[in-house]
Amino acid sequence: MQKQSTIDLEAEKKEILKRYRALLQACKRTLEKGDKLLIRKAFDIALEAHKDMRRKSGEPYIYHPIAVAHICAEEIGLGTTSVVCALLHDVVEDTDLTLDDIRGLFGEKEAKIIDGLTKISGVFDQSSSLQAENFRKMLLTLSEDVRVILIKLADRLHNMRTLESMKRDKQLKIASETLYLYAPLAHRLGLNAIKTELEDLGLKYTEPDVYDDIQVRLKEGESERKKFITRFMVPIKEILEEIGLKAKIIGRPKSIYSINNKIKTKGVPFEEIYDLFAIRIIIDSPPDKEKSDCWRVYSIVTDFYHPSPERLRDWISTPKANGYESLHTTVMGPDGKWVEVQIRTTRMDELAEKGYAAHWKYKDSANENQLDEWIRKIREILENPQENALEFLDDFKLNLFAEEIFAFTPKGEMKTLPINATALDFAFDIHTQVGEKCIGAKVNHKLVPLSYKLKSGDQVEVLTSNKQTPKEDWLNYVVTARAKSKIKNALKEERRRISEDGREMLERKFNHLKIDFTVQNINQLANYFKLPSSQELFYRVAVGNINLKHLKDFRQEQGTIVHKTGSIKKTEAAPSLEQMVANTRGKADMLVIGENLNKIDYKLSPCCTPIPGDDVFGFITINEGIKIHRVNCPNAVQLLSNYAYRVVKAKWTSQELISFLAGIKITGIDEVGLVSNITKIISNELNVNMRSISFDTNDGTFEGSVTVFVHDTTHLTELMKKLKKVHGVLTVTRMDSN
């Protein structure tokens, strides 16, 4: 460690004290008698424990726990217990202090939370072979105390804010996990401000060019936006003052992440996204008048500006499952521009930004119950652990981010389900047994199949039969994690029951052939049929896939089963994934694509068709060698966050002589000779070979896709620039896969 000069240390001491005072300031509103002393005690212990430690940036380590505690107090609105735990969150792991010491110094509650934080601190450790399994452990601690996750989110947010001092591969891994898990978690807990920042920072490190481009464009249009918002607000402000409603009106640009999402999913260029910002009207309103006041404001806004009827969202009458309440409408503002308007009260705004943690201020039992309900569902899913932790994680994540619909039971009880939920999801939401026996449903008194997708407001009556049992294809009909896990459990149970029958049948056959029914002999037989386990052998015997007549070709020699053609050869075990990773990685940490690789088999992944110049990584697969993916590939975030240990850094060498396939999508106005002009540019001007071309026209517009061979990204960009200049062409974008 570099030696610090005395002046440096003095300056650092002052800085530490300054940050500590700022933390106390942030805690002010929740401090009760004796709290200051507790925070001071935690701070002193943390300061002493981390005194010789430094972060990657070279700063004293203590800056990190202070920052995490500050986020807990200031941005999430948590109280003293959380601040104490945030200050101490790394102490047990990094120093000699034990949990018992914490228990003695502070109490049981603090020890429990720090224990939870310590358990999950290594959740996404580089050496961990399956991060999903550890994530499940992390969620188990959530069911103990939600503060564990809130502090963990604050910890992650500070790490993301200080990510620039890390190496590129570490940045990629941490940012991908953040987008994959932490942002959805913040969203589900209603921490809107944190979710948005995590997403933006995630994009900044996974796709820096895209992030910078959107940021620059937003900056360029800032003064224009401010003028527009002022013009929009003037008449509304006047009326609100007249009727005596206190309101704060602000214009907020959409997050860079959500703008990029729109560009990707809707396929529209930045210039054409009309809702780059939203206008938020926040009113001071007493609890009993909140709803009527918000609708009054809506009425005033729509007196001046035409609303788009299909863009009205009423989250006040039916709040989202994460507690979000607001009235959203899109209106035609000045200059013929559509603009989104969000209307909410001060209480709703605080809850939207700080989520459930803001409840110390608004003790609202309805929302408290929703949080308890969510945690109960998580606990239920976790108590039925599946063999494949990754599947669990994907199901769980689907439910984290899903938009919601509201459906009703025949008695009028409301159920909140993710969008695309089916009648079968609804049945499992009522009760596991109702789901397992479900044969169909009546939606709004009409008979529908199990796979029927529900819409908000549907009234659902579930039809059941005692003869019904879950089927394999049910897994295609459901979207909720709860229903998936229950169906998988039931199928597993059914398979186990059938296997038991198969076991008895096999035992009878063994006795008949005078072969000992031992574990060794059963495994030998399973090996012979190339089956992974004895249970699979029993199951196949029971369902008739393995004909017991074949067993007459076996006999027993010295207690061991043998085939009449000779003993059963043991199949050689395939190398484990860990061995494969070690072998493939070898000594080099960087895969150079295009060089004469020492027999390393690599393929360019079809899901994102990388070409030289793209930012890429190598992913070690089980059967297909290494696959090269683009960093912004649709599957990259999941691969980087779940299988970091199977990722190899990769870069391109000069590829002048090799051509790569790339897809281009073109849209525009259908004009005479347009296709001919496009193909002329492709074949004549740049000497590019086309593999396929297809165009569809529809009422004067056209959409086409062209597959071409190019050398690298520069070559492709050059071609796309020229195509954009063709008269009648509106957009030219690169397609993810061919």
pLDDT digit string (tens) for 314-350?
989 888 776 788 999 999 888 778 889 999 999 898 8
Statement to judge: residues 187 and 227 lie in one domain: no
**Band (548; pLDDT cuts 50, 70, 90):** confident
In sequence order, the 6+-apart residues with CB closer than 8 A to the CB of 193 are: 75, 353, 354
Least confident of 11-25, 299-313, 550-564: 550-564
Least confident of 581-590, 602-611, 707-716: 581-590
Q: What is the pLDDT of residue 360?
A: 46
Residue 478 within any structural domain of the chain: no
In sequence order, the 6+-apart residues with CB closer than 8 A to the CB of 105 are: 41, 45
Distance CA 39, CA 48 (A): 14
User: Can 44 be counted among the known catalytic residues?
Assistant: no
Q: What is the mean pLDDT of residues 155-169?
A: 90
Residue 386 within any structural domain of the chain: no
Residue pair 148/156 in contact (Cβ under 8 Å)? The answer is no
- CA-CA-CA-CA torsion for 44, 46, 52, 56, nearest 10 degrees? -140
Q: Which of 714, 698, 715, 716 is nearest to 706 (CA)?
A: 716
User: Looking at residue 489, what DSSP letter applies?
Assistant: H
Statement to judge: residues 493 and 608 lie in one domain: no
Q: What is the pLDDT of residue 141?
A: 54
Distance CA 183, CA 185 (A): 5
Q: What is the mean pLDDT of residues 85-112?
A: 86
Residue 331 within any structural domain of the chain: yes
Q: What is the pLDDT of residue 671?
A: 77
pLDDT digit string (tens) for 674-710?
778 888 887 765 556 777 788 887 777 888 888 887 7
User: Can 93 be counted among the known catalytic residues?
Assistant: yes
Share the mean pLDDT of the chain.
79
**Band (176; pLDDT cuts 50, 70, 90):** confident
Sign of CA dihedral 666, 272, 352, 177: positive
Pick the last residue of a domain from 652, 681, 713: 652
Q: What is the pLDDT of residue 92?
A: 83
Q: What is the pLDDT of residue 144?
A: 59
Residue 131 within any structural domain of the chain: yes
Residue pair 651/590 in contact (Cβ under 8 Å)? The answer is yes
Higher pLDDT among residues 702 and 433, named by residue: 433
**Band (99; pLDDT cuts 50, 70, 90):** confident
CATH number, domain of 665, equals 3.30.70.260
Q: How far is CA 496 from CA 434, 524, 536, in A?
A: 22, 21, 9
Pick the last residue of a domain from 188, 206, 224: 206
Model-level pTM?
A: 0.64
Show the domain range for 133.
Answer: 6-206
Statement to judge: residues 22 and 157 lie in one domain: yes
Tell how strand 554-557 and strand 626-630 pair up.
unpaired
Pick the last residue of a domain from 652, 677, 709: 652
Catalytic residue among 44, 93, 272, 696: 93
Distance CA 636, CA 639 (A): 5
Q: What is the pLDDT of residue 279?
A: 92
Distance CA 625, CA 635 (A): 18
Number of domains observed in the structure of the chain: 5
Statement to judge: residues 50 and 12 lie in one domain: yes
- CB-CB neighbours of 567 under 10 Å: 11
**Band (573; pLDDT cuts 50, 70, 90):** very low
Q: How far is CA 570 from CA 272, 510, 579, in A?
A: 64, 20, 20
**Band (454; pLDDT cuts 50, 70, 90):** very high
Residue 597 within any structural domain of the chain: yes
Residue 423 within any structural domain of the chain: no
Residue whose entry in the numeric block shows the structure tokens 């652990």: 385
Q: What is the pLDDT of residue 138?
A: 56
Residue 466 within any structural domain of the chain: no
Q: How far is CA 721 from CA 15, 556, 667, 686, 734, in A?
A: 51, 75, 14, 12, 12
Catalytic residue among 12, 59, 74, 94: 94
Long-range contacts, stretch 524-527, CB < 8 angstroms, 24+ apart: 524/560, 524/561, 524/568, 525/554, 525/561, 525/568, 527/568, 527/570, 527/571
Residue pair 247/282 in contact (Cβ under 8 Å)? The answer is yes
Statement to judge: residues 70 and 15 lie in one domain: yes
Return the percentage of the chain with pLDDT > 70, whole number.
Answer: 81
Q: What is the pLDDT of residue 301?
A: 94
The letter for the amino acid at 400 is L
Q: What is the pLDDT of residue 197?
A: 95
